Structure 1
Amino acid sequence: MNLPYPSVRTTRSTSTTKAPDTAPPSPYRWVVLIACWLSFMLTSIDRSTWGPASVFVGDGLGVPLASLGVFATAYYVGYVISNALGGLGVDRFGPRIVLTVSLAGAGTFMTVFGSTPSAAVGIAVQGVVGLFAGADYSAGVRLISSWFPSASLGLPMGIFTTATSLGTAIANAVVPAMIAWHGWGTSYHVFGILSIVVAVPLFLLLRNAPGHASKADAPQETGVPKEKAVRCGRPDLGAMARNRDYLLVCVTGFFAFWGLYGFVTWANALMIRGHGVSPGTAGLVVSVFAISAVVAKPLVGFVTDRFCGGARKTPSIIILGVFALSLVWFGQLSTPTAFILLSPLLGAAAYGWTPLLVAFVPRLVPSSVTGTASGLANAVWQLGSVLVPLAVGAVFSATGSFNAAFVTLAAGPVLAMLAILPVRADRTRRSVTGGVS
């Protein structure tokens, strides 16, 4: 099979510099992983604070339940833009700078949102929070994939992506108590300031991997042309658009995130208003949902690396199927006990596919455009997050049916299964020297 990124040279380079995947792994890679994980977790807390706070923000600003999805949509619009542009920034300026600016900027505007005077201002500020927060994902993927061997990305990406589920768990465990103590604005102030404070040591601690410099790290030896995926220091977006498997993975993530972040955004409000569940209990349900994913993500990554030869496609299909069935089942429940009992299975399935798709992308594109490709992929994935709050809000407002809302969510992972079926699972990434990694 021919990749859309043609090989630029078939003879062995005389350069003594080793490619990242062939060089002995550095112990510092674990420091990089922890730093990226911490940043991603904090921006995930920033995002997930909205779930348990949404009803109270609506009451405080005079926004009806059916319209609360506008705040989440504003955030995800900024988040999508940030992912698309952030990936380009990562490849041009380096992931270290982009990651720390992303975290500090998101924290600053989280703090501002905690004191917003009106719904209109709040919606705009949520958009700006998302505009900063989305860039740290592609920066983290670029850093991790450059420090770890590509054939063993399942476990580190599994650990990295636990940040989103752990962020959701922390937000749902802590925010209700903060609201009861001193109002919804306190939670935004606390997590916003924490994000700003952590960004400073991360900037001093992180460093980009050798051989993964910014502004396109294509080979510069005499007589070796640059990878066609990089033109004049800029990624060739047309080449990405012709990469069939990359596009299918983008579509798969779009539908999978429809179900995932639709649940994260709406579960609290639906349980509170649909079944009279207390805010504390609703937060507990979503916390258990998210905590189970903290175990599931690295476990899925480890198993696929160790026992499945790094396979991504078949495990993804199985997990997405369980996710869809669990959402339908959850929608038929009505008691707090039942919600709590099902939430571990739902959480494991809702998040378990994420390290597989995240690790898929670096294997489908040259290493020189990993940041751009990851950012654009996540931007497409997050479009599902942009649309689903409005869709679920409209369905629940029109039908008043808790079950109908969850059937709407379950449609996402079902379509994701169909999208990933044609992906050719044996595709591997070409490095900048034209070899297969």
Structure 2
Amino acid sequence: MIENKQTIPNEGIQPARKKSKVRWVVIFLMWLAIAINYIDRTVLSAAAPYITEEFHLSAAQMGVIMSGFFWSYALLQIPAGWFADKYGQKKTLGFAVIWWSVATAVTGLATGFKSLLGFRVALGVGEAAAYPSNAGIASKWFPDKERATVSSIFDSGSKFGGAIAMPLIVWLIALVGWKATFVVIGLLGVIWGVIWFIYFKENPEDHKGVNEEELHYIRSGQSRKDGLSSAPAMKWYELLKYRNIWAMCLGFFVINYNSYFFITWLPSYLVEERGMNLIEMGFIASLPLLVAMVVEVIAGWTSDKVAASGKLSLTATRKLFLIIGLLMASCIGFAAFADSAVLAVVLLCIAKSGTTVAASQVWALPSDVAPKNMTSIVAGMQNTVSNMGGVVGPIITGFIVAATGSFVPALLFSAGLIILGIFNYLFLLGKVKPLDA
């Protein structure tokens, strides 16, 4: 006779818990910081006609004021990265956002050329810490297999901020005037800073909301654990001995040279070369940025999936997506010969999206290759050189257009640089792995 035995569950075994999602709240705050970053740097451009009239500034003076941001922004990338690695990304990014937000708010108190220039330089001082800090946070808070996804998400904030900044700021100026607009926009960052200091912790171990499952998921997926307890593996200038650092810097220079066309000369191109009116231009100019924002996140997520699958090595994955992105970006040259404005805009959307496909890998590379506790410094070095592309790109484009009377040669020159960028990543960039100290 067979007895029916009832299986009694073991009450001592607890069901497996789902891992918490604190790291995704962190990435949202990182994304928001970059979006605010780009909104704040755009306020002056939108308010320029009113400021020029009120203070009787010449076009040359206004140009100097606008460029003042890049003086401090580009020069302080490496010091900001060093500070973030040494003293922590929480302090660095938090104080940086509050600093640049206050600089934005007090711009409404400007009385003329000198004060406007001073506030603009101060804005660059604060904003210099944003990207290096975010790169360092990504290396601490996320496993390696989510690195490109995280990089693409926080960098996409720049496209969102750039796209909504102009209509938002123009509306605010019409509502409250240009001086109050600076104050209102500046308050956004101060509020962000308060939330950041309350919520964010330097390491996931220190955050009460991170359960054991999420912490294990993060730490077990990291090939290198960064922290404040250890000194950097080398002096920052010793990084210049490595070819991968040079390849990262030169490649990003080319990408940024092309990217800045879309936030400097694109409106003029659409009006002068394609015959659009101001209303059409205002809508169309935001399209490449909005499309690129979505494409960047998809590219980052896809590249992480490819790398995690093991079908391609990390090096092959990074290079594949960099090359795909740059090939898409070369469409800026084809746009010069497009028969219709619609086709030109489509090609420009592809081109801008290509720069963001590449950027999803560019901002993952510092975490991939940096020696221990040097991710923010490597990101700062890369961003220093890339912003030189942002400085000289608009100038070279302006000279070419002035000399030829057409945007066609300027767009072809941009496409030519893209080809050089492809060769840079193919041959100068070596194996993607942490640098040996």
The alignment status of 1:217 with 2:230, answered yes or no, reads yes
2:153 to 137, 146, 159: 159
Does the 8 A contact of 1:102 with 1:136 survive in 2?
Answer: yes
Q: Which residue of 2 aligns with 1:315?
A: 321
Residue number in structure 1 paired with 2:260? 261
Aligned length in residues: 393
Q: Please give the alpha-carbon distance, in whole angstroms, between the structure 1 residues aligned to 2:185 and 2:344.
A: 28
2:291 is aligned with 1:292: yes
Aligned equivalent of 1:347: 352
The corresponding residue for 2:400 is: 395
The structure-2 alpha-carbon separation of the partners of 1:180 and 1:417, relative to structure 1 and needing over 3 Å to count, comes to: farther
Q: Identity over the aligned pairs, expressed in percent? A: 21
Shift in alpha-carbon separation, 1:412–1:182, aligned structure 2, 3 A: farther
1:192 alignment counterpart: 186
Unaligned runs of 5+ in 2: 1-17, 206-224
Structure 1: distance between partners of 2:415 and 2:182: 30
1:113 corresponds to: 107
| Cα distance in structure 2, aligned partners of 1:175 and 1:409 | 30
Find the counterpart in structure 2 of residue 4 from structure 1: none
- Once the 2 structures are TM-superposed, how far is the Cα of residue 206 of structure 1 from its aligned partner? 0.8
Structure 1: where are the runs of 5+ without partners?
Answer: 1-23, 219-228
Q: How far off is 1:244 after superposition?
A: 0.9
Q: Read off the aligned partner of 1:319 and give its amino acid letter.
A: G
Matched residue SS, 2:260: helix
The letter for the 2-side match of 1:347 is K
The question of whether the paired residues in 2 share the 8 Å contact of 1:51 and 1:268 is answered with: no
Q: CA offset at residue 356 of structure 1?
A: 0.4
Spell out, residue by residue over 1:373-426, the C-alpha distance to the aligned partner (whole angstroms, 9 max, x if none): 111211121121122232223333344323344334444433322322224453
Closer, same or farther: CA 348–52 of 1 in aligned 2, 3 Å: farther
CA shift, 1:44, in A, is 1.8
Residue 47 (structure 1) shift: 2.4
Query: In the alignment, is residue 413 of structure 1 matched against residue 418 of structure 2?
Result: yes
The answer to whether the 8 Å contact 2:248/2:429 transfers is no
SS in 1 for 2:285: helix
Measure how far apart 1:144 and its partner are. 1.4
Deviations 1:151-190 (A, max 9, x none): 4311111111111111111113323333444555454333
CA contact (8 A) 1:82 1:133 kept: no
- Superposed CA RMSD in Å reads 2.9
Q: Please, what TM-score do these two structures have when normalized by structure 2?
A: 0.80
Give the Cα separation in 1 of the matches to 2:330 and 2:179. 34
User: When the two structures are superposed, what TM-score results if normalisation uses the length of structure 1?
Assistant: 0.80
Task: Tell me: CA distance 1:212–1:362, structure 2 relative to 1, closer, same or farther (3 Å).
Answer: closer
Could you tell me whether the CA contact under 8 Å between 1:75 and 1:127 is conserved in 2? yes
Shift of 1:295: 1.0
State yes or no: 1:357 paired with 2:346: no
The 8 Å contact of residues 323 and 425 in structure 2, kept in 1 or not, is answered as: yes
Residue 269 of structure 1: how far off its partner (Å): 4.0
Inter-partner Cα distance in structure 1 for 2:410 and 2:51? 22
Which protein is bigger by CA-based radius of gyration? 2
1:366 equivalent among 371, 382, 393: 371
Determine helix, strand or coil for the equivalent of 1:166. helix
2:305 corresponds to which residue?
306
After superposition, where does 1:1-80 map in structure 2 within 5 Å?
27-50=21-44, 52-54=46-48, 57-58=51-52, 62=56, 69-80=63-74
CA displacement at 1:58 relative to structure 2: 4.9
Over 3 Å counting, the alpha-carbon distance change for 1:316 and 1:38 in structure 2 is: same
Answer whether contact 2:247 2:429 (CA < 8 A) is retained: no
Tell me the amino acid that sits aligned with residue 129 of structure 1: L
Shift in alpha-carbon separation, 1:399–1:116, aligned structure 2, 3 A: farther
1:332-351 CA distance string (max 9 Å, x none): 56976556544532331232
CA gap of 1:396–1:353, structure 2 versus 1, over 3 A, is same
Deviation at residue 323 of structure 1 after TM alignment:
0.9
Deviations 1:245-281 (A, max 9, x none): 1221111101210110232122224444666644443
Deviates further, 243-252 or 29-38: 29-38
Counterparts of 2:166 and 2:410, CA distance in 1: 21
Tell me the amino acid that sits aligned with residue 203 of structure 1.
F
Residue 196 of structure 1, CA deviation: 1.6
